Amino acid sequence: MSQQFGGRYSPNASRTAPGAPRRPHPVGARVNLLFVLPFLFAIMAFFKPPAGLVLHLGAFALLMLAAWLTRAGVVAQAAYDARSVARKPAIPRKIFGSVLTGLGLGLVAFSAGPATALMLGGLGAVLHFGAFGADPLRDKGMEGVDTFATDRAAKAVEEAETYLSEMASAIKRSGDRTLARRIDAFSANIRPLFRAIENDPRRLNSARRYLGVYLVGARDATVKFADLYARNPDPQARAEYEALLDDLESRFALRREALLESDRTDLEIEIEVLRERLDREGLRVTD
């Protein structure tokens, strides 16, 4: 099936929220390289005597585990940095990745003597730590925040992100790259509401329908549309589907604005109450 391409100024160019640039994926070439290097030891293992075979295969296993932990740690770090309110990761994956990298390299050099193994392993651990750093070791923005409410909000946002991922996976079946970019733009445009809920978990109750009912409906509509469009590229069905995305984007934006307006109103009330209290106690200084 032919695929439609579009640019920034094409009629069907994807729309992203102003002021919300795309974030690069946290997993870059450095992380991917960690999954490639261990195979060098796996290949070399079969040219070694039995003891060397065991050491090299053991190093391969440790280095692959280190790469997997590092990748998970980098993703967790990116999620932590993107939020104003966040818990520290339950497991310091990048630190464990540094330790396992040192153990893996030390195991390879063990046949040359414990001192060599210790030096090589230590060097590998230090270089890994220098390249990827430590995991977040403390909660961020959690002072005075209800832990139960924060957990509820985090779970609701996680489920909403799952619905967005399912939409992105489903639309790929349509074979239309412009539609895939449209789903990416849709996700970017509604995530500000997610961030608003994470920053203030008390907002969850007034936005739960959006994170649940609306996104479940959008996911189901995307699955049905993708299956239909893959069999029969109907322009009318496509226009109706894109109109649905436009409507949902507008609803999410209005809900976020309503939450922010409510916050401003609450702040104004708090300030006015404080002023009245200071006036009664004779503590307010007037010009």
Give the per-residue pLDDT at 259. 77
CA atoms within 13 A on the CB side of 195: 15
Quickly count: other Cβ atoms within 10 Å of residue 192's Cβ: 17
For residue 195 the two structure tokens come to 């961030």
- Which residue, 251, 250, 225, is CA-closest to 238? 225
Give the per-residue pLDDT at 30. 84
Measured distance CA(172)–CA(216) in Å, rounded: 18
Mean pLDDT for the stretch of residues 133-145: 76
From the number of C-beta atoms within 10 Å of its C-beta (0-12, 13-18, 19+), residue 6 rates as: middle
| pLDDT digits 0-9 by tens, 205-216 | 888 888 888 999
73 pLDDT band, cuts 50/70/90, is very high
Give the per-residue pLDDT at 265. 52
Phi/psi-derived region of residue 37, left when phi > 0, alpha when psi is between -120 and 50, beta in every other case: alpha
Measured distance CA(275)–CA(213) in Å, rounded: 42
Kindly tell me if the per-residue pLDDT of 17 is higher than 70. Answer: no
28 pLDDT band, cuts 50/70/90, is confident
pLDDT, averaged across the chain: 81
- Weakest-pLDDT range from 13-17, 102-106, 153-157, 187-191: 13-17
Mean pLDDT for the stretch of residues 243-270: 76
Percent of the chain with pLDDT over 90: 41
Mean pLDDT for the stretch of residues 93-103: 95
Mean pLDDT for the stretch of residues 9-34: 59
SS3 92: coil
For residue 243 the two structure tokens come to 């109109």
Mean pLDDT for the stretch of residues 219-234: 90
| pLDDT digits 0-9 by tens, 142-192 | 665 557 777 788 888 889 999 999 999 999 988 888 999 999 999 999 888
Measured distance CA(103)–CA(118) in Å, rounded: 9
Percent of the chain with pLDDT over 70: 78
SS3 85: coil
Give the per-residue pLDDT at 27. 66
Quickly count: other Cβ atoms within 10 Å of residue 245's Cβ: 21
Give the per-residue pLDDT at 105. 94
- Which residue, 92, 101, 36, 120, is CA-closest to 63? 101
Mean pLDDT for the stretch of residues 25-40: 84
Mean pLDDT for the stretch of residues 11-19: 45
Mean pLDDT for the stretch of residues 14-41: 70
For residue 269 the two structure tokens come to 């009330």
Mean pLDDT for the stretch of residues 234-262: 86
Single-letter code of the amino acid located at 208:
R
256 pLDDT band, cuts 50/70/90, is confident
Mean pLDDT for the stretch of residues 6-26: 48
Alpha-carbon distances, residue 23 vs 19, 100, 188 (angstroms):
12, 29, 10
279 pLDDT band, cuts 50/70/90, is low
Contacts of 251 (CB under 8 A, 6+ apart): 210, 214
Which of residues 254 and 96 earns the better pLDDT score?
96
- Which residue, 51, 28, 179, 32, is CA-closest to 110? 51
Residue pointed to by tokens 């060599």:
116
